[in-house]
């Protein structure tokens, strides 16, 4: 790599070549030897949709910064990448692409189509991740649909089954009629919408006035098993123990009193249906009520729904309301807001059906999960509360069976005769009971078995990720378990975080990670969640093409864990500009440091450092301290803003400008000063590149190849994190330097407002102050102020400038002189032009007029131009630096 021919502009298209160099040279590889401490990141396995979105960018950038930072700090970092393959979206995509229904082809063939699609999608996403510069160790990739992974998922099932933590039971479950599968509570999302509250008359058994109930779900009338009122509701005192008739269906149901009824809602009387919602389930259990299954798996009304049999739920609802209206049962309708549970994948309203399913006994593990979560460090802390609130609200076990195809099979067979559950031997895993036959004999003597056709919830795959990346269940896995850190989005706390803690605790007794860093979501530049329908989606490729991955990374890193982040083009552009500014500074510096060697001479050089060298080095160490501690605490925005501020303003705008005069000189007297400047420039550039390395990995390597002198080092990412040197923190030097920068800035502003080129010479500047301490400080800075601002003569003096205002030009006001003095006017003009202006001014000041012949001239007849002159009589400009007690007297 050549030190010459550095391109004029930074070319972000070179990012790709660095990605190739890193991959080819295994820069990010986890070694796993005993020479360095480990740092394990439990990374999320994304769903292979085929494209990375901005949310992924934010999520993975945090991990990548953490990984790169810890590598440079000396850790052997394990940054693996997994893929959570199974699930409904892939099945749906396969059905769409091949124009089939999953039942049109054999199960195996359908699975294969899903696998092929997933493999293609993984390939695309992997390449996108590499384009963003993410530094995963790809030799540690895991894919949940492989035999190797499914074996582990099934093994974890068998272990928990043996521990009594997994059981099969008939329970009400959340059901998505569109996906035609049970789903877990954690997968139910709630959304607000408006519906009608219908008031229906339920006649009493004797045909007299019964009770009026209010319901939002009249379509469930056929599954009504009781009416419930509050025990203290006086309106219903006399109804205790009586029965009422369900309209349309004529069935008699009991009136029950229960405290859970809200007397304020509707009429205070509610119908219990099996099942309208979660409360219905607890009432049915509490009062041992019948269960009427009026809805089937597809959301169609069953035989139990009588005249509505075969209708979809929504149609049944419309018809029921029509019938109730026609029969005079519907008394009134009023609009209400309701909170509807819906499937998190397809947003279809869920139903509660009674099904035989497999469950994980969550309730038994709640204390363990809470204990483990309490001992972890959560960033931000309030995300822990989210998890704890969720565990506190848990009253149903985790339903883990799904009625789908593309997932890990449940490793269970049933005896065809007595129904007993039989499990495979662990050495036969993975198995697919839907395809494989069970070899063995039941205790009842039967040798025929039926394989389970249900499959596992995909969270059963992904919730063992910290174990899988550690090599579980094989020997030695506990060297890499638990993980140091789990990084994930806040949208999957009640699923992925909760399930992982639960399962790893149940399987090993150990909490799966020590720290959890939670990222927010990304919004579009219109402040709304990015979505195709809003048209506010911006893809990472859109940005990388024009601005490069590092500019995108600068945008994403300027954020705080837990907070949602808007995507802003202006932030990307600011990052892009920053990198170019830094590149230009580096090109300049490179000319001056390319032949410079620090080795062996740094101690001597340190003794010759000039005030502004000490100033920038002290500031550099401050920034190092702040960036290091911010990254340690995952405060990415703090780290990136401090480093940018330092490079852009302190280093590029101030320091580099102030050392140019020292670099360009050939004077032997200034040789030490020149070396000190070169040393400082080199130190600052090497350190800042390292501090930026986790954030803009491509850019820093592109620069580093030109400044690096060690040919064995291929990439800055293989070097160590810069040491914070408290010795170089120098409060006094910072103070002096700040004063210098302040004064130089003021003179620079003077040049620009007077339209002088920045490199123009200034004849002389006198700096006045009435403060002794400041006087001493400025004395130290004389060379730098002179050199930087090209001032021929600079004096520092105690006191105030001795200046006066003099009139340098007097011009006749012809518009007045002409009409008033007519013929005499030329005489007056001649006098005014031939007399020294200050003399005219003094006379006018003393007498108020001048007589020229018979003409009386007053200040009204002339205009004057004044100038400020110093004690030498030369024209000067006065600049007051208010907050510094300094006055500048500038002689141009
Ligand atoms: Zn669904
Ligand atoms: Zn049997």
Q: Tell me, letter by letter, the H, E, C secondary structure of 549-616.
A: HHHHHHHHHCCCCCCCEECCHHHHHHHHHHHHHHHHHHHHHHHHHCCCCCCCCHHHHHHCCCHHHHHH
Answer whether residue 263 shows pLDDT above 50.
Answer: yes
Among the bound ligands, the one closest to the CA of 417? 2
Q: How confident is the model at residue 186 (pLDDT cuts 50, 70, 90)?
A: confident
| DSSP secondary structure string for all residues of 416-439 | TTT--EE---GGG-S--TTTSPPP
Residue 598 predicted with pLDDT over 70: no
With 0-12 / 13-18 / 19 or more C-beta atoms within 10 angstroms meaning exposed / middle / buried, residue 481 is buried
Q: What's the CA-to-centroid distance between 94 and ligand 1, angstroms?
A: 16
- How close is the Cα of 85 to the center of ligand 1, in Å? 17
- Expressed in angstroms and rounded, the spacing between residue 414 Cα and the centre of ligand 2 is 8
pLDDT at 736: 95
Q: What is the mean pLDDT of residues 596-625?
A: 86
**194 Cα: distance to centroid of ligand 1 (angstroms):** 21
- pLDDT bracket for residue 752 (50, 70, 90): very high
Higher pLDDT, 861 or 16: 16
Band of the pLDDT at 823, cuts 50, 70, 90?
confident
Question: pLDDT band at residue 597, thresholds of 50, 70 and 90?
Answer: low
Question: Per 3-state DSSP, what percentage of the chain is helix, strand, and coil (rounded to 5)?
Answer: 45, 20, 35
Relative orientation angle of helices 697-707 and 15-24, to the nearest 10 degrees: 80
Return the ligand number nearest the Cα of 445: 2
pLDDT, tens digit, 9 for 90 and up, residues 203-234: 887 666 789 999 999 999 999 999 999 999 98
pLDDT tens, position by position, 57-71 = 999 999 999 999 999
Of 189-193, 430-434, 473-477, where does mean pLDDT reach its minimum? 189-193
* Structure confidence at residue 855 as a pLDDT band (50, 70, 90): confident
pLDDT of residue 601: 61
pLDDT at 3 over 70: no
- Report how far ligand 1's centroid is from the alpha carbon of 84 (Å): 18
Query: Measured in angstroms, how far is the CA atom of residue 236 from the centroid of ligand 2?
Result: 53
Read off the tokens for 818: 């002409």
pLDDT at 805: 87
pLDDT reading at 433 higher than 90: yes
The owner of tokens 């002339």 is 862
Query: From ligand 2's centre to the CA of 20, what distance in Å?
Result: 59
The rounded Å distance from CA 446 to ligand 2 centre is: 5
Q: Report pLDDT digits (tens) over 488-534.
A: 999 999 999 999 999 999 999 999 999 999 999 999 988 888 888 88
Q: How far is the CA of 764 from the centre of ligand 2 (A)?
A: 107
Q: Is 344 helix (H, G, I), strand (E, B) or coil?
A: coil
Distance 448 CA to ligand 2 centre (A): 8
CA dist., res. 744 & res. 785, Å (int): 6
Confidence band (pLDDT; 50, 70, 90) for 4? low
Query: Parallel, antiparallel, or unpaired for β 142-143 and 82-83?
Result: parallel
What tens digit of pLDDT does each residue of 20-61 get? 999 999 999 999 988 999 999 999 999 999 999 999 999 999
What average pLDDT does the chain have?
93
Grade residue 1 by pLDDT with cuts at 50, 70 and 90.
Answer: very low
pLDDT value for 2? 43
Residue 184: band (very low, low, confident or very high) from pLDDT cuts 50, 70, 90:
confident
Better-predicted residue by pLDDT, 171 or 442: 442
Ion ligand 1 neighbours (CB, 5 A) are 176, 178-179, 343, 346, 348
Output the CA 356–ligand 2 centroid distance in Å.
19
pLDDT in tens, 565-581: 999 999 999 999 999 99
Q: Bigger pLDDT: 471 or 89?
A: 471
Alpha-carbon span 39 to 69, nearest angstrom: 11
Q: What is the pLDDT of residues 351-402, one digit of tens each?
A: 999 888 999 999 999 999 999 999 999 999 999 999 999 998 888 899 999 9
Ligand 1 center from residue 401 Cα (angstroms): 15
The DSSP-derived string for 487-500 is EEEGGGIIIIIHHH
CA distance 606 to 613: 9
Give me Rg for the CA atoms of the chain.
40
Cβ–Cβ under 8 Å, residues 235 and 303: no
CA of 348 to the centre of ligand 1 (A): 6
Is the pLDDT confidence value at 426 over 50? Answer: yes
How many Å lie between the centroid of ligand 1 and the Cα of residue 187?
9
What is the per-residue pLDDT across 666-706, written as a single tens digit (0 to 9) for each?
888 998 999 999 999 999 999 999 999 999 999 999 999 99
The residue-averaged pLDDT of 624-645 equals 97
Average pLDDT over residues 770-792: 95
Ligand nearest to the CA of 341: 1
- Check residue 363 and report its DSSP letter: G
């Amino acid at each position: 790599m050549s030190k010459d021919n550095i391109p004029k502009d930074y070319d972000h298209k070179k990012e790709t070549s660095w990605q190739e160099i890193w991959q080819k040279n295994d820069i990010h590889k986890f070694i796993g030897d005993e020479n360095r401490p480990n740092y394990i990141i439990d990374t999320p396995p994304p769903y292979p949709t085929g494209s990375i979105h901005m949310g992924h960018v934010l999520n993975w950038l945090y991990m990548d910064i953490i990984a790169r930072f810890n590598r440079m700090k000396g850790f052997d970092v394990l940054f693996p990448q997994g893929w959570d393959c199974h699930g409904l979206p892939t099945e749906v995509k396969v059905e769409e692409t091949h124009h089939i229904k999953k039942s049109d082809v054999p199960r195996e063939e359908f699975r294969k189509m899903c696998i092929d699609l997933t493999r293609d999608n993984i390939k695309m996403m992997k390449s996108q991740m590499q384009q963003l510069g993410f530094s995963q160790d790809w030799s540690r990739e895991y894919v949940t649909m492989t035999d190797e992974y499914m074996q582990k998922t099934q093994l974890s099932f068998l272990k928990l089954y043996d521990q009594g933590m997994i059981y099969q039971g008939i329970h009400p479950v959340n059901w998505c009629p569109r996906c035609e599968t049970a789903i877990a509570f954690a997968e139910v999302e709630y959304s607000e919408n408006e519906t009608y509250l219908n008031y229906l008359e339920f006649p009493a058994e004797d045909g007299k006035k019964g009770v009026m109930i209010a319901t939002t779900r009249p379509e469930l009338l056929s599954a009504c098993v009781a009416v419930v009122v509050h025990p203290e509701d006086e309106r219903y005192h006399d109804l205790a123990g009586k029965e009422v008739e369900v309209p349309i269906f004529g069935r008699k149901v009991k009136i029950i009193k229960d405290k859970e009824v809200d007397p304020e809602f509707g009429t205070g009387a509610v119908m219990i249906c099996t099942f309208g919602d979660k409360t219905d389930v607890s009432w049915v259990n509490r009062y041992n009520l019948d269960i009427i299954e009026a809805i089937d798996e597809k959301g169609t009304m069953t035989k139990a729904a009588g005249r509505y049999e075969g209708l979809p739920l929504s149609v049944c609802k419309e018809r029921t309301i029509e019938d109730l209206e026609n029969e005079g049962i519907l008394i009134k309708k009023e609009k209400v807001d309701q909170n509807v549970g819906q499937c998190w994948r397809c947003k279809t309203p869920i139903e509660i059906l009674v099904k035989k399913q497999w469950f994980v006994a969550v309730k038994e593990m709640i204390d363990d999960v809470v204990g483990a979560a309490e001992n972890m460090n959560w960033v931000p802390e309030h995300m822990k509360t989210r998890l704890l609130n969720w565990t506190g609200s848990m009253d149903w076990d985790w339903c883990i069976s799904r009625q789908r195809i593309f997932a890990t099979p449940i490793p269970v067979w049933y005896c065809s005769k007595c129904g007993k559950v039989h499990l495979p031997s662990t050495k036969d895993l993975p198995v697919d009971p839907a395809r494989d036959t069970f070899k063995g004999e039941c205790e009842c003597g039967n040798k025929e078995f039926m394989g389970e056709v249900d499959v596992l919830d995909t969270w059963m795959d992904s919730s063992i990720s910290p174990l899988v990346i550690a090599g579980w269940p094989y020997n030695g896995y506990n060297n890499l378990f638990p993980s140091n850190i789990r990084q994930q989005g806040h949208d999957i706390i009640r699923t992925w975080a909760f399930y992982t803690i639960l399962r790893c605790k149940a399987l090993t007794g150990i909490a799966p990670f020590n720290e959890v860093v939670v990222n927010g979501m990304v919004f579009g530049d219109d402040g709304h969640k990015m979505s195709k329908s809003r048209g506010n989606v911006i893809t990472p490729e859109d940005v990388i093409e024009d601005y490069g991955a590092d500019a995108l990374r600068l945008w994403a890193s300027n954020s705080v864990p837990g907070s949602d982040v808007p995507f802003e083009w202006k932030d990307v552009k600011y990052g892009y500009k920053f990198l170019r500014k830094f590149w230009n500074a580096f090109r300049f510096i490179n000319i001056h440091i390319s032949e410079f060697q620090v080795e062996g001479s740094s101690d001597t050089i340190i003794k010759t450092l000039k005030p502004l060298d000490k100033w920038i080095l002290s500031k550099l160490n401050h920034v190092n301290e702040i960036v290091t501690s911010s990254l340690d605490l995952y405060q990415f925005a703090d780290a990136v803003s401090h480093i940018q501020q330092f490079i852009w303003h302190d280093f590029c705008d101030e320091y580099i400008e102030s050392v140019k005069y020292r670099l360009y000189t050939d004077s032997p007297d200034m040789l030490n000063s020149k070396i000190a400047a070169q040393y400082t420039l080199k130190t600052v550039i090497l350190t800042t590149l390292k501090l930026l390395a986790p954030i803009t990995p491509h850019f820093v390597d592109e620069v580093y190849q030109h400044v690096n002198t060690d040919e064995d080092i291929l990439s800055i990412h293989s070097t160590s994190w810069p040491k914070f040197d408290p010795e170089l923190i120098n409060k006094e030097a910072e103070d002096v330097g700040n004063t210098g920068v302040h004064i130089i800035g003021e003179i620079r502003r003077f040049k620009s407002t007077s339209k002088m080129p920045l490199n123009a010479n200034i004849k002389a500047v006198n700096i006045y102050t009435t403060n002794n301490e400041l006087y001493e400080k400025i004395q130290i800075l004389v060379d730098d102020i002179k050199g930087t601002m090209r001032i021929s003569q600079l004096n520092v003096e105690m006191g105030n400038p001795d200046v006066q205002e003099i009139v340098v030009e007097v011009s006749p006001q012809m518009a007045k002189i002409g009409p008033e003095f007519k013929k005499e006017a030329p005489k007056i003009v001649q006098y005014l032009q031939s007399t020294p202006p200050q003399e005219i001014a003094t006379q006018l000041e003393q007498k108020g007029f001048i007589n020229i012949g018979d003409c009386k001239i007053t200040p009204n007849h002339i205009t004057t131009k004044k100038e400020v002159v110093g004690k030498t009589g030369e024209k000067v400009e006065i600049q007051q630096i208010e907050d510094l007690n300094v006055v500048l007297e500038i002689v141009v």
